[in-house]
């Protein structure tokens, strides 16, 4: 079965990425206490990974990176942050790398999902960044 990942919403791409990677999503935590994040990924430790999804036409800037860092610092449930968006500004990428926030773009997700699907069907992966993982 062929997937056309380009047609997926950004949140659906993120959920598919988590599913293929075997990551467990807990939506109850988001509803109860962490409304500033869109998804919560369970982690091996007592804290998890907060996912912020920005499905914008413009680039995510430094302000969103700073807000995400504040979420991680103030939350008793989150140890890491992943931001998913269509595009990130260069200053935002630099800051995120410096403070340890993970970034994935729509293109990254499509490349990863296509690569993983190719491995499952026996096709060779074509992307240069084949193994983006959070931990």
**Would you kindly state where each structural domain of the chain is located, as residue ranges?**
28-117
128 has pLDDT over 80? no
In this prediction, residue 51 has a pLDDT band, given cuts at 50, 70 and 90, of: very high
Burial of 57 (0-12, 13-18, 19+ CB in 10 A): exposed
- For residue 36, name the pLDDT band (cuts at 50, 70, 90): confident
What confidence tier does 1 reach under pLDDT thresholds 50, 70, 90? very low
3-state secondary structure 9-20: CHHHHHHHHHHH
32 falls in which pLDDT band (50, 70, 90)?
low
Residue 73 has pLDDT above 80, yes or no: yes
Is 33 within 8 Å of 77 (Cβ atoms)? yes
CATH of domain 28-117: 3.40.1350.10
């Amino acid at each position: 079965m062929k997937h056309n990942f380009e047609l997926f919403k950004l949140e659906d791409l993120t959920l598919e990425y988590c599913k293929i990677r075997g990551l467990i999503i807990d939506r109850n935590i988001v509803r109860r206490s962490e409304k500033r994040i869109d998804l919560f990924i369970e982690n091996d430790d007592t804290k998890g990974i907060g996912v912020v999804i920005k499905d914008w036409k413009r680039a995510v800037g430094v302000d969103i990176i700073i807000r995400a860092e504040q979420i991680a610092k103030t939350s008793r449930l989150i140890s890491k942050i992943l931001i998913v968006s269509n595009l990130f500004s260069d200053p935002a990428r630099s800051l995120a790398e410096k403070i340890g926030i993970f970034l994935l773009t729509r293109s990254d997700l499509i490349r990863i999902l296509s690569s993983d699907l190719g491995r499952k069907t026996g096709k060779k992966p074509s992307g240069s960044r084949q193994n983006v993982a959070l931990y």
